[in-house]
């Protein structure tokens, strides 16, 4: 198993009446709710937490890209990745990912991922989301009906830039470059492993199979609701007659660990409600620009996650029983993760352990319990696929270590 400690980096200062007084956490969120001075601390805390996860032995630390979003403060996850490259040493830096249709020219992604791959010494896993309609269409203005064509072209360009080790000309519809020759280029061969976050687009299943990418379902609604979608993925994998390694799939799950189930509710419910009620308050008009989803996908009925379920009236029990969150004692959490891992057949888990406005120390408490009392029991769930290295990074054996900072000398202290 590969456990990635994932942080969406939510804004923790949304007001109590956010739902009532704002129409959306995303796209047109009120600028007056943002405070850059507070954000200075927020970023620092979130990086501390990711670094803490590295120290505790998680396989990866994960970050992602969102724009104009009150629950995701990372328009550029690569900047966070660069910060993590220096202050983590063992965990993979998992950037899940860059919305490649939004970069102009898209070789920017090839270049920045190559830099992260090298800076981390090959401790790097990348991702290529199509991006949500909110990010891709409404914030970044990509035409919905052309988004997938633009994505496919960007993908071709990036892979060629990584793998054709000589200059080439690229004549795309959206990008025309006479001299593609990124420098520096990637460390891992043929390139870093790629995970594709998907939300049920059937074309994405084939795309993952075709390219040997891992399919990641980054839902917030938990593993019980994900079963039908993941079954659809595995059916397609079987139809395509490729192996069924669980590392072909990943899943994101909100999780809270405490000493007992009761303590979990007492400690964490407030923060779960903050996330599910305030952070997921997205105006339905932003959820799916017409043309963003393919006709085939709409016809399968895999409708947008923001149209349902509605969380406003859910109790802690509803959240836990419905599997939206996995919470409780280490034993409860272990059991439910076993069920998740087996029922969805996933080798990559993205743990949403910092949720909403959760304080740093409390998050560390939950993280430590997971690392010490849950994770060791789950690491060997797929022993027959232990040697499947296709979907995870291959770091250098000998990696450079940042030099200790020199002790401050009087002349280095800024003058008052």
Partner 1 sequence: MITSRKIGTRAGSINVFEGGEGPDLLFLHAAGGVNAENPFLQALAKSYHVRAPQLPGYGDSDDSDNIHDMLEVTLHTFDVLEKLGMSKPILVGHSLGGMIAAEMAAVCPNDIDKLCLIAAAGLWLDQYPVPDIFTLLPREFPEYMFHDADAGRAMMTSNGNINDPAFLIPFLVNNARQLGMAGKFLFPIPERGLKDRIHRIKAKTMLVWGASDKLFPAAYAHAFKDSIAGAELVIIPEAGHMVPLEKTEATLAAIARLR
The residues that touch partner 1, with contacts defined as CB under 8 A, are 137-138, 141, 143-146, 149, 173, 283-286, 288-295, 298-299, 301, 303
Minimum distance, C-beta of residue 141 to partner 1, in the bound complex (Å)? 5
Q: Least distance (Å) from partner 1 to the CB of residue 297?
A: 9
Q: Which residue number, 184 or 285, has a Cβ lying nearer to partner 1?
A: 285
Residue 27 Cβ, how far from partner 1 at the closest point, in Å?
Answer: 8
List, in sequence order, every beta strand (DSSP E) within 65-213: 92-95, 124-127, 168-171, 176-180, 194-198
| Cis? peptide before 190, omega within 30° of 0 | yes
Torsion angles phi and psi, residue 3, rounded to 5: -105, 120
Residue 27's SS3 state is coil
If the CB atoms of residues 113 and 286 are measured against partner 1, the closer one turns out to be 286
Q: Which of residues 159 and 303 has its CB atom nearest to partner 1 in the complex? A: 303
d(CA 352, CA 147): 28
Report yes or no: 35 and 14 within 8 Å, Cβ to Cβ: no
CB of 205 to partner 1, least distance (A): 19
Identity of the residue, 303 or 378, whose beta carbon is nearer to partner 1 in the bound complex: 303
User: What whole-number distance in Å separates Cα of residue 229 and Cα of residue 219?
Assistant: 11
CB of 145 to partner 1, least distance (A): 4
Give the number of other Cβ atoms within 10 Å of residue 184's Cβ.
11
Residue 395 to residue 30: CA distance in whole angstroms: 42
> What are the distances in angstroms from CA 122 to CA 92, 193, 197, 339?
8, 10, 21, 32
174 versus 234: smaller Cβ distance to partner 1: 174
Identify which of residues 176 and 342 has a Cβ nearer to partner 1 in the complex: 176
Strand, coil or helix: 355: coil
Question: How would you label 15-32 residue by residue, b for 16+ Cβ within 10 Å and e otherwise?
Answer: eeebeeebebbbbebeee
Give least dist CB 379 to partner 1, A.
41
Using alpha carbons, select from 387, 385, 317, 375 the residue that is nearest to residue 57: 375
Q: Which residues pair with 214 in a beta bridge?
A: 195
Residue 169 phi, psi (nearest 5) = -95, 140
Least distance between partner 1 and beta carbon 134 (Å): 10
Nearer to partner 1, 303 or 362 (CB): 303
């Amino acid at each position: 198993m590969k456990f990635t400690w994932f942080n969406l980096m939510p804004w923790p200062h949304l007001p109590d009446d956010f739902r009532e007084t704002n129409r959306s956490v995303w796209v047109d969120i009120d600028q007056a709710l943002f405070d850059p001075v507070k954000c200075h601390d927020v970023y620092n805390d979130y990086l501390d937490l990711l670094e803490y996860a590295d120290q505790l032995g998680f396989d990866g630390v994960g970050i992602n890209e969102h724009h104009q979003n009150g629950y995701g403060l990372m328009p550029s996850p690569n900047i966070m990745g660069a910060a993590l490259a220096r202050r983590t040493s063992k965990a993979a830096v998992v950037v899940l990912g860059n919305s490649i249709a939004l970069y102009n020219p898209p070789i920017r992604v090839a270049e920045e991922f190559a830099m992260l791959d090298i800076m981390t010494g090959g401790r790097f896993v990348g991702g290529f989301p199509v991006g949500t309609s909110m990010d891709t269409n409404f914030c970044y203005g990509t035409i919905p009906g052309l988004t997938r064509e633009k994505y496919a072209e960007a993908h071709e360009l990036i892979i060629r830039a990584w793998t054709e080790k000589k200059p080439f000309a690229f004549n795309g519809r959206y990008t025309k470059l006479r001299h593609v020759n990124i420098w520096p280029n990637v460390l891992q061969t043929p390139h870093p492993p790629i995970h594709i976050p998907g939300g049920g687009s059937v074309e994405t299943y084939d795309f993952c199979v075709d390219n040997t990418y891992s399919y990641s379902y980054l839902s917030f609604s938990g593993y019980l609701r994900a079963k039908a979608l993941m079954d659809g993925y595995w059916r397609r994998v079987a139809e395509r007659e490729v192996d069924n390694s669980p590392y072909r799939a990943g899943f994101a799950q909100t999780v809270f660990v405490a000493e007992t189930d009761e303590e979990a509710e007492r400690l964490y419910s407030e923060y779960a409600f903050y996330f599910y009620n305030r952070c997921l308050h997205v105006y339905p008009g932003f959820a799916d620009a017409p043309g963003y989803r393919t006709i085939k996908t709409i016809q399968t009925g895999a409708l947008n996650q923001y149209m349902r379920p509605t969380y406003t009236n859910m109790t802690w029990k509803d959240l836990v029983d419905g599997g939206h969150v996995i919470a409780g004692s280490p034993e409860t959490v272990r059991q439910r993760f076993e069920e998740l891992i087996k029922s969805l057949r996933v080798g990559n888990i993205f743990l949403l352990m910092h949720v909403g406005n959760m304080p740093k120390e409390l998050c560390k408490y939950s993280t430590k319990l997971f690392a010490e009392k849950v994770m060791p029991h789950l690491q060997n769930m797929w022993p027959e696929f232990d040697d499947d290295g296709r979907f995870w990074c291959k770091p250098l054996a000998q990696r450079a270590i940042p030099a200790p900072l020199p002790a401050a000398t009087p002349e280095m202290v800024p003058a008052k």
